[in-house]
Structure 1
């Protein structure tokens, strides 16, 4: 009996030991599979080293310089500002207690130690009504949490009738006769700002009552389907009424990177001053205090038109959430979904080139609108506490076949030290063959600090080719081309896009068609590259035209239907109506089919040529000797380099390539996926930076972030953001500079040069036409024409490449036409590399094949998208058809781009990894202990024991 029990005991224990062994082996396989993401998770950037501390101090200083010049004074009636005597102030508006420092998502940064508005005012000598401040805090209101996963668009503010009681207002008026009204608006990645505050555009992750109609904030009274997010809410309007009834001297502070409707201010004479503070980052509210006190003279200028009605612009009519829907045959409709259950969404850029000031200035010039009724503040507008004169220096104009240059003398004619922005615009002839804005920004500059009576001469210059418009219709060249149309070209010195200072010059130019040699700055002649992507089913049949005073604007500015032709030639209504399965299948086919191989012979792989990447530092990209290095890469190397590109470039032992670290984002270095998320210094938003109109500060920011990156061991920076403020409602506008491509491009170029001077490389993003967040991860079909694509949406990136020498690009989620941007050879090869001369690496935006099935890796590699941003690798890493000859050849070319970029970066200083990560060491120790325990268990369980006394031998 005892023998049976002993045998059963051995079976149970041996089974448990065997199970433990299997679990250990399985765990180690899983750990090896997930080793990259585990290492990344436990990696921690040390911000306490002397180098890091020095770099951060430099960044904080530069951040302060940016906000010192980026705050914009929009209105100053009765010279209320600066407030030199009345230093006791009441600040109304709950947002004063919880302002918006930046935005959310990958472009966010840690602002936990940032200067608050209250501390900024107090540091400038103001005494803030503490009782009023505490009363706002006591409401318990919180700023809604928003992120990539969802948003709550509640506008936090107490109910006016309950909060602004006679007693509270009496206390405020007794404290001071001066009031500040503080209004804030947030934005972020993943969602655009709501154009209707009806309660539907809110986030409810757990069925909780978080939204505007929920009990958490109790503000169902604030819902109004006639209002949008960028105008006064019902509660804010109640607050404005209460304050203006009790105060005659009021300053309005607008804390937002998105333009805000401000025409309502005209109804309140009590509001004397208006100041805008775009995302201020770490130190910006210190600058606000100095501006209000007069310690600092504001010199910022707007980077977008402040329209009286933000929904009135043509672009706004075609911005938002549009889906193709299917006729179910029973009178009902459903969202058209592709074979992977992703809704088929789209957006029309029907306004063409008429975005921002280009629309308003041109429409006014054509007599189509009353400018003063439509625009509160023009593009490039801003006030100062002093006055300036600007005059063209006699005989300074140079205008030849390639360049235009002029000197402008700026004099401070007031009594206060200050800086002035100088803006040069041009007007090109409109013949009706190619669309033209009536006025375009050509060049700009900013003076240094000028004392009263002091002058400075600045030089403004630009290339003649910059005035060429793109002829996609073939009026001058059947294949499309850049063209200088014949006629009079005029130069203007302007205060802003609307107010002229002086006529500079006028010149009649002969026709120039850049269809043979191309523009001087191009490596390849520009021809139509996007015809196949933006024509056909679903494309726009008519774009906004200046002809006859925008006679077709009613056609463009409608939210009903337009027609496309399906494969059988039948007309199908698509916008908001119906699309049959043939249309969906057509789009699926264009987006998903992977063409059969064309090439017969694959690349050489796995050779031992004895080459190392260190041998290729400084070697020209086109040098034939690169082939010897590339021949050493195995197929596994090629696949790994391409598919494991999230927040790093991979170490490759076969060629001696060290790993590099890449991090977000436009407001500074940010490590989001580590165990202890870390941020470098929180710089101001790109809007704030652009509002300085001082590209030297862009270079300084890039230089400062580059120094931080070196201190943290970071090479790649997912920045700058170069997309266009197509609409004021863009959720990610805080990450982008402006509505103007020249302004954006110049700032992107200087930021890039500053950062890359430290040996790192940028990934300018999001390339391209990712100008709205709604439906971006659904691969939203973006319909436009090639003129608008090139002149409005690609031009900023073009400056960053040609003038900034950007070494990296991040392709975007959206589609151009029905082709995912990350799989568009027209975009990534023809325009980016061949036309502009880009030499560097292209990464995707966040890549998870299961979530974003339109992002097909094989197509991306073949199109020139070098690596995939698989941020939680290996989750999301796709299966590649590694047997495909065409894919193998593409991955070899892509590896060349990665190796070339790293060879010419500070990443070469890293060397190959030799030290095991701490978690691996701990795992090995645990493995050894567990293995010894299992061995000991089996040993003691099955060892032969010597027979005891009285027992048989």
Structure 2
């Protein structure tokens, strides 16, 4: 009988209450105050509340990023809990009736479409996500009965995996009724506050032009106590201290990737012609003025930031900064940001790049804090494709300090007197097609850098001998493991160091090795997503238990994220522990229990988890200590429910605002992304035997046709932008796992890329964990892989083994059979030849991580 760890009581656990309050506290620092003319914080006992997010508040995105929580506090409830009377319930009732009817119609259509296509409801939901209808029109009568001078309008937008957003009304842009409603409210209320309950950047240029919009607050999506957290900020109980982690453009087409992004041109081939010029690197370098710059956010108070004398200790650059709260009423936190403008040399450089940041403690009015920001000089190196090396080119490096990318002041200049090759590598990612990358006017860009610096700041000569030059050693041909030991080696022998992993693996048959490299969905017969584990229903999958009885090697349980564990909240078993069907849930897809079940013959179990703020919101806190606490909280729930690997955090780059999964990714900037992912990993891995799975490795920046899109990216752009965050997370936190992405990279599926997985992650960065595929990567399942006719083949099971992609999830028998046949016959299958040494290498990686989770 399988051991089950869920609770048998439906009552709220103390853990849920405590963790929800922790999440609420975290959420307070994640909100970004975009505009405020003094309307916030509010001091009213009555409010006119409108908008599609007022009652149907979104806690987080859809798909694997969703969390099945017990309850969610919406914004209307947040006002009520704060003792503020909502005067517009009649309008909210009409709005709810409208949206409920639209949702019911969608669910009915989804069921019918699934039946018609003989596919799953989940597949239909991914391909055709639900879209909220336009809002109800606000009438003069709605305004007359409100009896208040303060209106709050909540704009909600949802998104998720499987589909990208659109530059159209009701998505990236305002709905017509939203536009009209805001115009009306701006005319009749003294104070109009717009709250953005959204998971990604949207067009605010039109709203900014409406006279009478007094404040705009980026709430984002904050988990299951979002309404309470929002009121903490609206009422001034918490002073917002979030900063944008993206550049908000005046117009969508201002982003250099927009014209050709995803469905705007082709879902089959994505040409990364923007190169290294992503986000603020583009806007600053090409002189395009944004609506809101990167790192921007207001406060209820004001701060004074003064940089002291820069110093260099060895290869570490140190910038002392004094921060003072110069306001008179509110305590607050400030984010100090350090940027550098790299010297223009053989390689062109962006105008500036983020090098370090730190959030202050809570400063009372008049209070001062002195901090020292530090970073390694190697961070300022650029990757030379010609030299296949990271090079710190000679010249002046201008150091800037401020509280946003547009508000910095020059604090000093570091002069590098000769080129320094910091790391000798090899080019790993040859382009499969010609790529016409954009380039700024180099002369004007260098003049802009020098003009801003004026060269009045103190110049420090950098000691070029302070950097130890390194050369990467890459793995050669894998060698087969052998052992003379005849006694059966077990996991206990590994843990007691009586034997090595290599010796154990050498005793395993080809069939057993193949089983270790494939997940278990084929055996358990679970649903498409979730229910792949009997002991933790709703978990995304298990690793193999092929040697559980014979050698004590347990199967690891893997649960989705990244805004908390996504488990099945309610399930039933027979008295002997046999799991009964029903209760599986993912978004709008739900499998009901058999209505004829005799409740006397079954046991009921409950697994309610905490929804934390989405990844985008957490990053906007710019608070790595806070994010580490969030990870610590998730790790505690992993312990309770016996989950081994959390399939999070996700840290792909916000290359374009229409990517459907930007809500769970962090930023347009790789440094912010890497630091936040590292903090989350450290928090989770404080718990013995628990680990994270950083994903999606790599360039998963498009959801339409995600299984088959070919991303064409230059080597330099990959290393400096799209892989850098992963590198930071690996080097600083050593996550137990990495998940590859679905897409191809320069003609090769990332799951089949030896150079990406072995050459980059393991050889260059020193990754020591296990690599797994995303779900159904190497399984030909048209109902899962989407509505687009693919232009490229699916990822190969044999290619995963060749690349060092250790586990193929959730697994199918064909994966195992192909691997066994390829190893035993030496035949090329699906384009790859693999050996027993390759298979042993992968299985050994799995077993090492299993040992760390015991």
| Fold equivalence (TM over 0.5) | yes
1:684 corresponding residue in structure 2? 613
| Cα deviation, residue 875, structure 1 | 8.2
For residue 601 of structure 1, report the CA deviation from its aligned partner. 8.9
Q: Please, which of 657, 678, 690 is the counterpart of residue 553 of structure 2? A: 657
Q: Indicate yes or no: 2:631 matched with 1:671.
A: no
Q: Does 1:767 align with 2:685?
A: no
Cα distance in structure 2, aligned partners of 1:882 and 1:495: 57
8 A Cα contact 1:725 1:733, kept in partner:
yes
After superposition, the Cα gap between the structure-2 partners of 1:448 and 1:323, relative to the gap in structure 1 and judged at 3 Å, is closer
Match of 1:167 among 124, 141, 150: 141
Q: Is the 8 A contact 2:481 2:505 kept in 1?
A: no
Checking the alignment, whether the CA contact within 8 Å between 1:605 and 1:634 is kept in structure 2 is no
User: Which residue pairs with 1:589 in the alignment?
Assistant: none
Match of 2:810 among 867, 870, 893: 870
> How has the CA–CA distance of structure 1 residues 605 and 650 changed in structure 2, closer, same or farther, with 3 Å as cutoff?
farther
Partner of 2:224 in structure 1? 282
- DSSP 3-state at the match of 2:233: helix
SS of 1:637's equivalent? helix
CA RMSD of aligned residues (A): 2.8
SS of residue matched to 2:234 = helix
1:893 is aligned to 2:830: no
1:694 to 606, 615, 623: 623
C-alpha separation between the residues in 1 aligned to 2:337 and 2:7?
41
What whole-Å deviation, never above 9, does each CA across 1:302-359 have from its counterpart, x for those lacking one?
Answer: 11111111232112223113788xxxxxxxxxxxxxxxxxxx8110110001111111
| Alignment-derived partner of residue 350 in structure 1 | 273
Distance 2:80 2:667 in 1: 32
Aligned with residue 251 of structure 1, among 184, 193, 198 = 193
Q: 1:58 to 1:407 in 2, by over 3 A?
A: farther
Distance across 2 between alignment mates of 1:441 and 1:506? 15
Match in the other structure for 2:249: 307
Match of 1:634 in 2: 509
Alignment of 1:237-276 (within 5 A): 237-276=179-218
Does residue 648 of structure 1 match 2:587? no
Give unmatched runs, 5+ long, in structure 2.
111-121, 447-475, 522-540, 572-581, 585-606, 786-792, 827-833
Question: Structure 1: how far apart are the matches of 2:519 and 2:130?
Answer: 36
Cα distance change, pair 599–902 in 1 and its aligned pair in 2 (3 A): closer
Deviation at 1:185, TM superposition (A): 0.8
Give a deviation string over 1:233-283, Cα, whole Å, max 9, x none: 222112223322322320011111211211223322211000011111111
User: Which of 748, 751, 759 is residue 819 of structure 1 equivalent to?
Assistant: 748
Alignment correspondent of 2:165? 193
Cα offset for 1:127?
1.2
The answer as to whether partners of 1:114 and 1:282 remain within 8 angstroms in 2 is yes
1:91 — aligned with what?
Answer: 49
Alpha-carbon distance between aligned partners in 1 of 2:24 and 2:496, rounded to the nearest angstrom? 37
The offset of 1:398, in angstroms, is 2.8
Among 422, 425, 444, the residue aligned to 1:526:
425
Which residue of the other structure, out of 335, 349, 358, is the alignment partner of 1:436? 349
Query: For residues 113 and 846 of structure 1, do their structure 2 counterparts lie closer, same or farther at Cα, with a shift above 3 Å needed?
Result: same
Match of 1:128 among 67, 83, 86: 86
Structure 2 vs 1, CA of residues 546 and 761 (structure 1 numbering), >3 Å: closer, same or farther? Answer: farther
Given that 1:870 and 1:876 are in contact with CA atoms closer than 8 Å, whether structure 2 keeps it comes out as no
Q: Does 1:499 align with 2:407?
A: yes
Residue 617 of structure 1 aligns with which residue?
A: 495
Q: Are 1:384 and 2:299 matched, yes or no? A: yes
Q: Deviations over 1:633-671 (max 9, x none)?
A: 122210100122662222224443112211111011113
Contact 2:49 2:76 in 1 (8 A): no
Cα distance in structure 2, aligned partners of 1:291 and 1:185? 20
How far off is 1:730 after superposition? 0.9
Largest Rg, 1 or 2: 1
Deviation at 1:618, TM superposition (A): 8.6
Provide closer, same or farther for how the CA distance between residues 834 and 753 of structure 1 changes in structure 2, counting only shifts above 3 A: same
Residues 811 and 111 (structure 1), Cα distance of their counterparts in 2 relative to 1, 3 Å cut: same
1:454 corresponds to 2:372: no
1:421 to 1:601, Cα distance in 2 relative to 1, 3 A:
closer
Alignment partner, residue 588 of structure 1: none
1:464 aligned residue (350, 374, 377): 377
Partner SS, residue 869 of structure 1: coil
User: Would the aligned equivalents of 2:134 and 2:175 in 1 still touch at CA under 8 Å?
Assistant: no
Deviation at 1:165, TM superposition (A): 3.1
Which of 839, 843, 856 is the matching residue for 2:796? Answer: 856
Corresponding position: 1:540 with 2:435 = yes
Indicate whether 1:101 and 2:40 are aligned. no
CA deviation after TM superposition for structure 1 residue 613, in Å: 2.1
Deviation at 1:87, TM superposition (A): 2.6
Distance 2:10 2:178 in 1: 47
- CA distance 1:401–1:510, shift in 2 (3 Å): farther
Give the whole-Å Cα distance in 1 for the aligned partners of 2:751 and 2:363.
48
Q: Equivalents in 2 of 1:51, 1:469: separation in Å? A: 56
C-alpha distance in 1 between matches for 2:564 and 2:151: 34
Aligned residues: 730
Q: Matches of 1:645 and 1:639 in 2, distance apart?
A: 12
Equivalent position of 2:318 in the other structure: 405
Task: Give the secondary-structure state (helix, strand or coil) at the position aligned to 1:314.
Answer: coil
For residues 479 and 372 of structure 2, the distance between their equivalents in structure 1, rounded to whole angstroms, comes to: 56
| CA-CA distance at 1:131 after TM superposition | 2.9
Q: C-alpha separation between the residues in 1 aligned to 2:178 and 2:170?
A: 13
Alignment map for 1:10-25 (pairs within 5 Å):
none
How many angstroms apart in 1 are the aligned matches of 2:663 and 2:4?
Answer: 28
Distance 1:402 1:353 in 2: 25
* SS of residue matched to 1:362: helix
**Deviation digits for residues 72-114 of structure 1 (CA, Å, limit 9, x no counterpart):** 111111x111112x23111121331212211111111124501
Taking a change above 3 Å as real, the CA distance of residues 354 and 228 of structure 1, as seen in their structure-2 partners, is farther
Q: Structure 2 matches for 1:820-839, cutoff 5 A?
A: 820-839=749-768
Alignment of structure 1 residues 897-908 onto 2, 5 Å: 897-905=845-853, 908=854
- Structure 2 CA distance, aligned partners of 1:743 and 1:672? 32
> Match of 2:127, SS?
coil
| 1:631–1:468 Cα change, 3 Å | same
In the alignment, which residue of structure 1 is the partner of 2:128?
151
**Secondary structure, counterpart of 1:137 in structure 2:** helix
How far the C-alpha of 1:453 sits from its partner, in A, is 1.4
Q: Secondary structure, in 3 states, of the residue corresponding to 2:195?
A: strand
2:174 to 193, 215, 232: 232
Q: CA deviation at 1:900?
A: 1.1
**Per-residue CA distance 1:539-566 (angstroms, 9 max, x = gap):** 4144444536699xxxxxxxxxxxxxxx
Change (3 A) 1:316 1:605: farther
Separation in structure 2 between the aligned mates of residue 714 and residue 149 of structure 1, nearest angstrom: 26
Instruction: Kindly state the Cα deviation for residue 449 of structure 1 after the two structures are TM-superposed.
Output: 1.2
Within 2, Cα distance between the matches of 1:436 and 1:601?
A: 42
Q: Partners in 2 of 1:103 and 1:599 — Cα distance?
A: 43
2:263: which partner in 1? 321
Q: Summarize deviations over 1:689-734 as a string: whole Å, max 9, x none.
A: 1111100011111111111101101111101001111111110011
Q: Could you tell me which residue of structure 2 aligns to residue 945 of structure 1?
A: none
Q: Relative to structure 1, is the Cα distance of residues 527 and 56 closer, same or farther in structure 2, using a 3 angstrom cutoff?
A: farther
Looking at structure 2, the residues matched to 605 and 867 of structure 1 have their Cα atoms a distance apart, in angstroms, of 24
Does 2:738 match 1:797?
no
Matched, 1:486 2:416: no
Alignment of 1:408-423 (within 5 A): 408-415=321-328, 416-423=330-337
Choose the corresponding residue for 2:20, options 31, 49, 60. Answer: 60
Give the corresponding residue for 1:361: 284
Contact 1:185 1:255 in 2 (8 A): yes
Give the secondary-structure state (helix, strand or coil) at the position aligned to 1:764.
strand
1:645 and 1:843 in contact (8 A); partners too:
no
Partners of 2:805 and 2:283 lie apart in 1 by: 37
Q: CA contact under 8 A between 1:539 and 1:817: conserved in structure 2? A: no
> Residues 294 and 542 of structure 1: is their aligned pair in 2 closer, same or farther, counting only changes over 3 Å?
closer
